[in-house]
With several copies, the nearest count.
Chain A
Amino acid sequence: MTDIQEGDHVVFKRDGLSRVYQMRRNREVYFERSKFKVDDLIGQPYGSTFEIDRGKLVKFEQEKVVQLKETISSLPGADNRNLLDAESNQKMSKDDIMKMKDEGITGEKIIEELIENSETFKGKTEFSQAKYLKKKKKKHILVFTVLRPTPRLVMEIFSKEPGKICNLRPDTLSQLLNYGNVMYGSNVAVVETCQGLVLASLLQRMGGEGKLIQLVPNTSNSVCRQVMDYFNFPKEHLDNVYMFPLDTFSTITDDTEETDGNSAANLNLETSSEKTVTAPTDAASTDGGDSSIDSKTLMTVGGVLVESSDKSDQSENAALLNIPGKAAPSTDVAEANDVTMKDNDALIENAAGGEVIGGKRQLPPNRDLQRQLKLQKQKEAGQIIRNKQLDSLILACKYNPLPILMTMLEFLPPSRPVVVYCQYLEPLVECYTQIKKKGIGLQLRLSETWFREYQVLPQRTHPLMNMSGTGGYLLTFMTVQPVIEKVQS
């Protein structure tokens, strides 16, 4: 299975940018302002690199990449004393470039023309020339590698809009998985509002065994699990995912077998009220691109059909991106700035995944069966919780973590790890204080991570000029049995 199959979700990766697409014959995709059909990718090995040459996919040879790298080697320190406004020194206009593209002229050729028409290129230092070339190549030559989705790659999709995943960064997600002690066969309870990214990452670490219980606020609200789709999980893995609404929690606090009946009754009540609520959600889903294609799979997962059109998320994210902070990205050429803006727009349009044109749709399956299955799984999840069979508790959501934490801790056995992630520090201070006060956590630790990337190039090594100011905060601890046991000594 090292070759790309039809139906696979794959990652297109170029530099620091990733997008996910599902492979379907005859389907056109948009990627980095280019539109092309993906048919030719099917059957190719994962890890292959392609170029878009005048709207067509062409396999890219490794040598070219290397050549490009070698161009960029020069000493710093040479001075560009005459360079102030690079843009005005270019005799070719944007219209000229567009025209060339329309005429089907290759990116390489366009760059050659740009260099010839630059008044300052020859006066630049070797280093500046290389930098210029790199920038132009990125703009005019579209080369990307097709990869199997991994949490690391999928996370890159959100790198420019971290607000969608509660500001999770690779460092914080990775700690969440490790401190949560998630492994093959784990029973994990999770609350997440990170588009399903945490859910998917957990499921992958569970390797097809164990139970993954997603706690959701209530039966009526939909939760976004969009990212789950990207991982091509086999059905057996998805069968291990459960959904449990926190508003039915009272049903599992009674310990008698009898309550199961009660619980079911409760659940029925909840479910019927859900009927009316889910209707608009389903309606909305029909214009949600290809998400309905996977609805069948999702049904068996036990969830309602889920939707990415979480408006509060988007606006929250917008708020976070437009912060009136001071750190300005250092783009020295107006043109480059322009590109960033456009990319951003596209990003928001496409939500997290890649935009897809065309693709057939299926009718929703039997809704009654779906509801029954859901109810059954919900009950199973409740039993796992009640029987204290959880191995870890993980929170990464935009809800107040404290009540969820304190409620769930009742059902967690001792010596189990708990990880609470929050994009705000204050709620975790509350949690810390409560855990400390009640003496129910060991190795209690509240932390954030300083995550820094470096440019490592000959004679030009330094931390990157831009970095992420926050990746959120983590509270970690181990549950304990606070009752003292006397033992022989």
Chain B
Amino acid sequence: MSFRKMKDTIDYGDTVILHIGYDNMLPIMIAKGETMQTKFGAVKHSSLVGKQYGTKIQCSKGWVFVLQPTPELWTLSLPHRTQILYSTDISMIIFQLDLKPGSIVAEAGTGSGSLSHAILRTIQPSGQLLTFEFHGERCDKARQEFAEHGLSEFVTVTHRDVCGEGFQLDHLVDAVFLDLPKPWECIASAKNAIKREGGRICTFSPCIEQVQRSCEELSKNNFTDIVTVECLARNFNIQYAKLQNVLPSDVPLAANGDSVNCGTEEDESKQKSHKKVKKAPESFLNKAQDNQVKTAVHNYCFSSAIPTIAMQGHTGFLTFASLYYH
């Protein structure tokens, strides 16, 4: 039930997210007699029941947090059965498909259910997700997950290759999402699935050639407002930077970010608050900078938002289109 509504405390049957670190989250379903092993020690499920979501839990070798799942947390912690969609693209898809409570959506394929969970959050309780997956085992897993998450009544998982067999839906849905190797093969069938009053479609494709064929096919099928976009998240790290003034700075500095002459002690305390962000590397950095202090008393200090050097360069192209009254 923890996916349908925000809750205060943990009950048996809830799926919770054990937050061990920024890139280390484990989803667990709370069951009697079960125990979860984490790198900080074991956590007995029963001991979590009745606890408030967001609580810091002491384990034998450290602590973890227990969070109520959101589709965004789920996307970061779910078991991968396929390549998955991430929240930057997912957000755009939900928005561009005009989804809201009550929307009826067709999705192919289900994959690992990353997008499905976000769709379900938005369209429940009056909407329906009709999701199609050609891979039998994945179908079963998805169905099981939706059931565990209390979402079964809002979703129908169908085991079918829509590329060959089509959606077999007759003017029923508000929106169609296609994440398939050959989306263009399903566009005619998608058109037939969309309500007479019109609707929206989205295809996700990693390669531009797929986009080109999809756009052609969309156009042929009288879809309009065809738009292809790309969204890339660029994350920033906050770093406390200290640049040596190799010449005496007689220039008055502007309003921004600079305690010139910042001493070592003062910095140390400021940096402590940052140490959690980057553990080992920063301590090296501190040492290195401290050495420099010997030769230069003056430093220019500031908090800097630095884009992460390694970033996701591409996920896929999102093509959106409208089908008007038809």
Residue ranges of A at the interface with B (Cβ–Cβ < 8 Å)? 2, 13, 45-49, 62, 65-66, 69, 76-79, 81, 84, 145, 147, 150-152, 162-163, 167, 170-171, 173-175, 177-179, 181, 183-186, 204-208, 217-218, 220-221, 246-247, 249, 311-312, 315-316, 318-329, 391, 398-400, 402-404, 406-407, 413-417, 423-430, 432-434, 436-437, 439, 442-443, 445-454, 456, 458-470, 478-489
Contact B314 A183 (CB under 8 A): no
Which residue of B273, B280, B313 is within 8 Å of A463 (Cβ)?
Answer: B313
In contact, B313 and A425 (Cβ under 8 angstroms): no
Nearest CB of chain B from residue A455's CB, rounded to whole Å? 8
Q: Given B48, B285, B317, which contacts A454 in the complex, CB threshold below 8 Å?
A: B317
Least CB distance from A133 to B in Å reads 17
Q: Which of A206, A414, A427 contacts B55 (CB 8 A)?
A: A414
Rounded to whole Å, the gap between the CB of A318 and the closest CB of chain B is: 5
**Cross-chain contact A489 with B71 (CB below 8 angstroms):** no
Tell me whether B274 is interfacial, beta carbon within 8 Å.
yes
Q: Mark B194-236, 1 if CB is under 8 A from A, else 0.
A: 0001100000001111111001100100101111111111111
DSSP majority for the A interface?
mixed
**Contacting pair A449 B233 (CB below 8 A):** yes
Nearest-Cβ distance from residue B185 to partner chain A, whole angstroms: 9
Contact residues of B between 228 and 287, Cβ < 8 Å to A: 228-239, 241, 243-251, 253-254, 256-258, 273-274, 276-278, 280-282, 284-285, 287
When C-beta atoms are compared, the residue in chain A nearest to B314 turns out to be: A463
B177 part of interface (Cβ distance < 8 Å): no
Interchain CB contact under 8 A, B229 and A456: no
Q: Which A residues lie within 8 Å of B256 (CB)?
A: 426, 429-430
Q: Which residues of B contact A81 (CB under 8 A)?
A: 134-135
Cβ-defined contact, A488 with B44, below 8 A: yes
Interface size counted on chain B using CB atoms at 8 A: 139
Is the pair A447, B235 in contact by a Cβ cutoff of 8 Å? yes
Within 8 A of A (CB), among B31-49: 35, 41-44, 46-48
Q: Is there an interface contact between A217 and B94, defined as CB atoms closer than 8 Å?
A: no
Contacts of A319 in B (CB 8 A): 239, 278, 281-282, 284-285
Query: Are B313 and A452 in contact (CB-based, < 8 A)?
Result: yes
A66 and B304 CA atoms in complex are apart in Å by 47
Distance (Å) between the CB of A243 and the closest chain B CB?
Answer: 14
Chain B residues close to A by CB (< 8 Å): 5-6, 8, 19, 22-23, 35, 41-44, 46-48, 51-60, 63, 65-68, 70-73, 76, 81, 87-88, 90-92, 94-96, 98, 100-102, 118, 121-122, 124-126, 134-135, 181-182, 197-198, 206-212, 215-216, 219, 222, 224-239, 241, 243-251, 253-254, 256-258, 273-274, 276-278, 280-282, 284-285, 287-289, 291-292, 295-296, 299-300, 302-317, 319, 324-325
Q: Nearest Cβ distance between residue B184 and chain A, in whole angstroms?
A: 10
Instruction: Given A81-B135, A427-B243, check contact A470 B181 (CB 8 Å).
Output: no
Nearest Cβ on chain B to A337's Cβ, whole angstroms: 14
> In this complex, what residue of A is CB-closest to B254?
A433
Residues of A contacting B312 with CB < 8 Å? Answer: 326-328, 465-467
Pick the most buried of B22, B88, B250, B253: most chain A CB atoms within 10 A of its CB. B88
For the complex of A and B, list the 8 residue pairs with the smallest distance between their C-beta atoms, beginning with the closest.
Answer: A414-B54, A207-B101, A467-B313, A325-B308, A312-B288, A415-B54, A77-B181, A315-B284
* CB<8 Å pairs between A and B, sample of 21: A45-B197, A152-B95, A167-B309, A184-B124, A185-B5, A402-B249, A415-B67, A428-B305, A429-B303, A430-B253, A432-B305, A439-B276, A447-B234, A450-B233, A456-B319, A466-B312, A467-B311, A469-B307, A469-B309, A481-B56, A487-B44
CB atoms of B310 and A178 under 8 A apart: no
Q: Is the CB of B23 within 8 A of A326?
A: yes
In the complex with contacts A316-B285, A489-B41, A456-B237 CB distance below 8 A: no
How many angstroms between the C-alpha atoms of A400 and B297 in the bound complex?
Answer: 13
Q: Write out the residue numbers on chain B whose beta carbons fall within 8 Å of the beta carbon of A445.
A: 235
